[in-house]
Chain A
Amino acid sequence: MKKLMLGNEAVARGAYEAGVTVATAYPGTPSTEITENIAKYDEIYSEWSPNEKVALEVAIGASIAGARAICSMKHVGLNVAADPLFTVSYTGVNGGLVIVVADDPGMHSSQNEQDSRHYARAAKVPMLEPADSQECKDFVKEAYKISETFDTPVIIRLTTRIAHSRSLVEVSEKENYALKDYKKDFNKYVMMPAMARKRHVIVEKRIDDLKDFADKTNLNRIEWGSKEIGIITSGIAYQYSKEALGENASYLKLGMVYPLPVELIKKFASEVKTLYVIEELEPFIEDLAKKEGIKVIGKELFPLVGELSANLIREKILGINENSTNEINMPIPTRPPVLCPGCPHRGVFYVLKKLKLTVTGDIGCYTLGALPPLESMDTCVCMGASIGMAHGFEKARAREFGKKTVAVIGDSTFIHSGITGLIDIVYNKGNSTVIILDNSITGMTGHQHNPCSGFTIKNEPTKQVDLEKLAYAIGIERVKIVDTYNLKELESVIREEIAAEEPSLIIAQRPCALLKNVKFKGPLRINREKCKLCKICMRIACPAIVDNGSYIEVNEALCVGCDLCTKVCNFNAFERVGDNND
């Protein structure tokens, strides 16, 4: 039976069919739906882990215990999980272990554009790259065979356009995978220097074996067309190439991008007239091919930055420009993403801007507080960085500057990697103020539970981290809890805490406005007789309040009725639709 499946959904299906029984992840676009879909299979234990490092460690444990395990993350998540990755390469596996990493060329929803293929080479681990949803499913199953045959973790690399595209998938039955026996094996699983030295030799031998395998496996295939043009490609770049060049080229389509099939590449190169490597981001295949003395054209034609497209390939290789020449003589305003109407974060950024504070920020919906007109965030680097950076600001510019600095971080991000930063502030005698934006959910990635939400991935009730107690336990003595809709209290608490000569934590609470159980009173409108056009309401940057020049208007189709605007308006100009004589 064929089904239309998202790439991520197909990865989940592949895990199910391969008999996986343990699945772990921390949510991150574009990887989140993998584990969301795995959670629907009752046969698989799945979890949202606090971060990617823990997720991978759980999966490694499950693998060594004899199960097939899968661990999924976005590209930057692999940085967090890099520590266990490099060493599980040495220990190898028992039950198969697959790590799925989703890169984000074009940075649709990411802070950098790193190419995770480098991790495969650096950690000496094989990497597969599917080009559609069917391959997503098939490659996961193949990855388990490789993992167990070669005693290695296997990485599957997706990119946004594979992860978030739907295509047809032939589904099949679940394989019966029996838990492997667990045998204590000091030399294999305890990586102390004496044992690791021996394992490293095995890893090098394994990579040689995998090179031979790469030349033979049907994961890599040649599709012959015109031999005037030869294309070495993989993943989504293969689809763009086929779209652009069709039968006018021959293709070496790589399903295994590390290690590369050197002999196969040489054979292909010898049969085509001009050879190109078409790959997004880094010249990964190109560099390895050149190292083998194969003459290829790559990044001298194609960009290192952003995504490729069929039109770009046509233009660079065939010299045909099919982009539109139709000029639109109208300026088109940009439409950057914004905090939603009713967003609980809006009030916090309004106050931070009012107080003219330096704000070290973090990763989540609330990063949007950096954009105009709120513009109340100074930095955003990685998960958890806000807290360490606030401490760094204080240590560099002394206490008086520190008093004008706060760190802002979401609840899920705080659990992910904010806790250690906070411990650092206490331990090293900092005075920073940290605001946890506690919206009871992981927002940006689409509402995943986390240790603060009180529910597991399967919506089962569980223990909830008590942020207040946690703060006390690590030595913070000033903890304040405020409602983010209460602007007055929010402002006075922030003023007080930044002035304090010790570290403090403000837990700013209010659930995400998009959560189903969050109810509002319905849209407001402006009474133009009362409105004095002071425009103070424009400072909260609500997408539903529009400045029409001569008057201010509420877009009733967008307004939910959170009433934040009523708290900044000094003239009671906002009224609820339907309250008067409509």
Chain B
Amino acid sequence: MTNLSIMIVGVGGQGSLLASKMIGTVAMKKNFDVKVSEVHGMSQRGGSVVTYVRLGEKINSPLIEQNSADIIMAFEKLEALRWIKYLKEDGKLIINDQRIDPMPVITGKEKYPEGIIEFLKSKYKDNVISIDALKVAKELGNLRVVNMVLIGILASKTSIEKEVWLEALREVLPAKLQSVNEKAFEIGYNFAVK
């Protein structure tokens, strides 16, 4: 496999740690080299946060540069727009159709752009996959599985076997949370195949 570069972007507090932990576990199961770069500290308090995950034969830099992400997984729409420059020309963009207003928008100093997903789809065509993961999570009765729905989509866009992802899921989550998360993962995994 050539190196795979994945970015997880969102708003501090949305919890990208589980996603990066799971991808890291998958990489280890496949005997890949892997590096994950995380954000701690001030930006975690509601700021724009990005996690970089890179896996492959040999990884040097833990960071992903502009024009080089294979997949960007966005927990929030505006953050998808902010980081889109990092996506490769034929890279995949997975967007959670959720809006969180940043403070300058809340105070009316700046405007939250309308039609982000439509705009990105017009530009990146079929490489953009959007989903209202919050709705899916509500239906499953656990708001915390939003991430797992998105991870399911992500998994379906890699060449790594589904079973390896599920094994990783069972490794990183406590037993009582596995069942609902597996359901969320399956919904995500099958979503993009449709």
Contact = CB atoms under 8 A, between A and B. Distances in A.
A311 B65 contact: yes
Nearest to B67: A324
B2 interface: no
A164 B38 contact: yes
A557 B63 CA distance: 31
A185 B116 CA distance: 71
Range of interface residues on A (Cβ < 8 Å): 35 or more
B104 A310 contact: no
Contacts of B126: none
Interface stretch (A399-407, A430-438, A542-550): A542-550
Contacts of A32: 40
Contacts of A167: 33-36, 59, 62
A328 interface: yes
B106 A29 contact: no
A1 to B, nearest CB: 11
Nearest to A244: B61
A333 B78 contact: yes
A547 B12 contact: no
B113 A334 contact: no
B113 A332 contact: yes
A372 B103 CA distance: 8
Nearest to B82: A332
Interface in A534-553: 538, 541, 543, 545-547, 549
Contacts of A30: 40-41
A96 B63 CA distance: 34
B105 interface: yes
A373 to B, nearest CB: 5
Given A109-B42, A332-B113, A338-B45, A164 B37 contact: yes
B41 A29 contact: yes
B110 interface: yes
Contacts of B119: 330
B43 interface: yes
Interface in B82-129: 82, 84-86, 98, 100-113, 116, 119
A4 B24 contact: yes
Contacts of A239: 60-62
A2 B34 CA distance: 11
A29 B40 contact: yes
Interface string B1-39: 000000000011100000010001101100001111111
B81 A371 contact: no
Contact of A337 (B46, B81, B84): B46
Nearest to B11: A335
A358 B52 CA distance: 41
Main secondary structure of the interface of A (DSSP, over half): loop
Given A4-B36, A166-B36, A336 B47 contact: yes
A109 B11 CA distance: 16
A547 B111 CA distance: 11
B44 A166 contact: no
A109 B82 CA distance: 20
Contact of B40 (A33, A543, A549): A33
A240 B64 CA distance: 10
A491 to B, nearest CB: 23
A187 interface: no
A109 B65 CA distance: 21
B109 A372 contact: yes
Given A239-B61, A547-B107, A547-B108, A168 B40 contact: no
A557 B13 CA distance: 12
Contact of B104 (A242, A330, A334, A549): A334
Contacts of A340: 13, 45-46
A322 B67 contact: yes
Contact of B38 (A6, A328, A337): A6
Contacts of A323: 65-67, 85
Contacts of A6: 38
A167 to B, nearest CB: 5
A242 B60 contact: yes
B62 A161 contact: yes
Contact of A546 (B86, B98, B101): B101
A543 B66 contact: no
B85 A328 contact: yes
B47 to A, nearest CB: 4
Given A165-B36, A444-B42, A372 B66 contact: no
Contacts of B63: 161, 240, 309-310
Contacts of A538: 106-107
A302 to B, nearest CB: 16
A161 B81 CA distance: 24
A168 B28 contact: yes
B82 A337 contact: no
A339 B112 CA distance: 20
B48 interface: yes
Contacts of A558: 100
Nearest to B114: A330
Given A161-B63, A330-B113, A555-B101, A337 B44 contact: yes
A532 interface: no
A240 B65 CA distance: 10
Interface in A288-342: 309-311, 322-324, 326, 328, 330-340
Contacts of A555: 100-101
30 contacts: A4-B34, A32-B40, A132-B35, A161-B62, A161-B63, A165-B62, A168-B34, A239-B61, A239-B62, A311-B65, A324-B67, A326-B84, A330-B119, A331-B113, A332-B81, A332-B82, A333-B104, A333-B112, A333-B113, A336-B103, A336-B104, A337-B12, A337-B43, A365-B45, A372-B109, A538-B107, A543-B103, A547-B108, A555-B101, A557-B100
Interface of A: 2, 4, 6, 29-30, 32-33, 108-109, 132, 161, 164-168, 236, 239-240, 242-243, 309-311, 322-324, 326, 328, 330-340, 365, 368, 371-373, 444-446, 538, 541, 543, 545-547, 549, 555, 557-558
Given A335-B78, A337-B42, A444-B42, 8 more contacts: A164-B37, A166-B62, A311-B65, A335-B102, A337-B43, A337-B44, A372-B109, A446-B44
Interface of B: 11-13, 20, 24-25, 27-28, 33-48, 59-63, 65-68, 78-79, 81-82, 84-86, 98, 100-113, 116, 119, 134, 143
